[in-house]
Structure 1
Amino acid sequence: MSVERTSPFSTALVTAGAWGLAILWILPLAYAIWTAFHPAIYAARLDLLAPWTLENFSRAWNAAPFARYFLNTFMLVSLILVCQFVICTMAAYAFVCFPFRGSNLLFMAVLLQLMIMPEVLLVENYRTLSRLGLLDTILGMGLPYLASAFGIFLFRQTFKSVPKELEEAARLEGAGPIQVLLRVFIPVAKPTYIAYGLVTVSYHWNNFLWPLIVTNSVETRPITVGLQVFSTVEQGVDWSLVTAATILSVAPLLLAFLLFQRQFVQSFLRAGIR
């Protein structure tokens, strides 16, 4: 049996391409970090002897109610994450363990929602929230996202990989459907929950258009909308302040990914997504 070997030229080409993409990705982040940690006078030039300072972060924190923005964003993503975990888990469990007539057709309908861009539904969602009296509320921002077709698909794929023997053994010991779900399926799918949690938290933490449309006050405004205060046309743009505020807003996401990056990759591999 012959083993096809990769030529040194193709390996070098792939490596060069990977390095090129990595550099393109890291340059904006490196510039943002450089600008955030230096006085505004050094924002447009690269001076290796320029003094490092935390003053920009202090100014950014005091220029806007960041504590309130972080609280609003945390409440929003927590509401969405908990509801999606519950709804997507129950739906995926039903599709895998309780097949019914038309279940495949219903699952295809769920997958069709992945092809609909959220922006297409902005007007209708806004009208619905207006009739419900939920504009400018945390619940109103999160209501259109309390269920996720992608979450149902991902959990279904993971639950299908659970050995039938584990489920049958739990049932022989007298476990009911909910106990089987809690003791067998969910523990096995733990990496998937971590990965999906990072994906949905990242998306809704950075979501801008929908919160901008439905919020009008600081009391409900998330951090992405609150960052607008740093780019007013009248006062000009202080890039040191803007980059410091941006790093403050994305720091929790970067920390979460660094802590759970192994589980993040592992779960998608187990779900069969390459």
Structure 2
Amino acid sequence: MRLRKWNIGHGLFLALSAVWFAPFIWMAATAFRPKREALSPSWTFNLTWDNFAAVWSAAPFAQYLVNTLLIVVGIFAVQMITATMAAFAFARVEFAGKNILFLLFLAQIMIPADVLIFPNYSILNEMSLLDTKLGIMIPYFASAFGIFLLRQMFKTLPPELDEAARVEGYSRWRILWKIYFPLARPAYIAFGLVSVSYHWNNFLWPLIVTNSVENRPLTVGLAIFAQSFETGAQWTEVSAATLIVVAPLLIAFVFFQRQFMNGFIHSGIK
């Protein structure tokens, strides 16, 4: 009976996975098909790279890719510093109102980022940072999720490490970056994948803030390309452009999936 239940659950899981994965398979297959066979129900092995060449020359995807890399790397670099210091303070430093303040940080996780679009836009307008990469990044320099994840990871480390380090003359700052930072590597990898994937796919905020090719990320560039008159109905080019956008994330997840899972396991998140 237990084996039968497991088989039913496993089969249901595979069926749902297939339904979720079907659009990606269709998109990837269409990206390599010739234009005349784009919507053909029959499958042939007549594959081509021409769609990718056409997309790459029709829109500045190289510039979009560079912009996206600068944005996601810049955001994660600042988040890593701010989240590390805040998480260490919540995990190992005693101060008045620590638990209440931590609950306020956790409450930010439940607030959708889209709710803050108007105030963020007004502030950036006053700072003359609209249509800049820095303007896209600033609202995300602090991450409540990153603070929570790293705090949970830091609390799993034995306090005896702090005592031994203080005996050796380490300050709190040195303890943080010489001991806690290296030992929390799995959590940083997990948080890095979450942060990079979110900001790589972020669309609404960059769409509102940017107006120039020099600052648009891949998601906005893909939307403009897909809606243009010349390519709106050309499914092969649109599919090729979409694959260009999502491929780096898929490759990163394939290489770091084990570290990604270990990061949540070691931090105590089920």
2:51 is the counterpart of 1:56: yes
Give 1:50 shift: 4.1
Q: CA 1:233–1:83 in structure 2 vs 1: closer, same or farther (change >3 Å)?
A: closer
2:23 is the counterpart of 1:28: yes
Letter in 2 for 1:171: R
Equivalent of residue 172 in structure 1, options 154, 159, 167: 167
Whole-Å Cα distance in 2 between the matches of residues 35 and 122 of structure 1? 35
Question: Partner of 2:237 in structure 1?
Answer: 241
2:243 is the counterpart of 1:273: no
- Where do 1:1-274 residues align within 5 Å? 7-232=2-227, 234-235=229-230, 236-274=232-270
Give 1:70 shift: 0.8
Whole-Å Cα distance in 2 between the matches of residues 201 and 231 of structure 1? 23
Give 1:54 shift: 0.5
Whole-Å Cα distance in 2 between the matches of residues 45 and 30 of structure 1? 15
Q: Return 5+ residue gaps in structure 1 as ranges.
A: 1-5
Give 1:65 shift: 0.7
Whole-Å Cα distance in 1 between the matches of residues 50 and 102 of structure 2? 53
1:230 and 1:237 in contact (8 A); partners too: no
For this pair of structures, how many residues does the alignment match? 269
- Cα shift readout 1:42-62 (whole Å, capped 9, x = no counterpart): 221243324110000111111
Identity %: 48
Q: CA 1:221–1:86 in structure 2 vs 1: closer, same or farther (change >3 Å)?
A: same
Whole-Å Cα distance in 1 between the matches of residues 229 and 249 of structure 2? 31
TM-score normalised by the chain length of structure 2:
0.96
Letter in 1 for 2:184: A
- Cα shift readout 1:94-147 (whole Å, capped 9, x = no counterpart): 111111010111001101111111111111111111011000000000110000
Whole-Å Cα distance in 2 between the matches of residues 209 and 272 of structure 1? 32
Whole-Å Cα distance in 2 between the matches of residues 142 and 48 of structure 1? 43
RMSD of equivalent CA atoms? 1.2
1:230 and 1:238 in contact (8 A); partners too: no
Instruction: Give secondary structure in 2 for the equivalent of 1:272.
Output: coil
Whole-Å Cα distance in 1 between the matches of residues 233 and 164 of structure 2? 63
Give 1:195 shift: 0.8
Give 1:29 shift: 1.1
Letter in 2 for 1:79: G
- Cα shift readout 1:134-172 (whole Å, capped 9, x = no counterpart): 000000001100000001000000000001122222221
TM-score normalised by the chain length of structure 1:
0.95
Q: Return 5+ residue gaps in structure 2 as ranges.
A: none
Whole-Å Cα distance in 2 between the matches of residues 232 and 172 of structure 1? 64
Letter in 1 for 2:92: C
Letter in 1 for 2:97: G
Whole-Å Cα distance in 2 between the matches of residues 232 and 70 of structure 1? 19
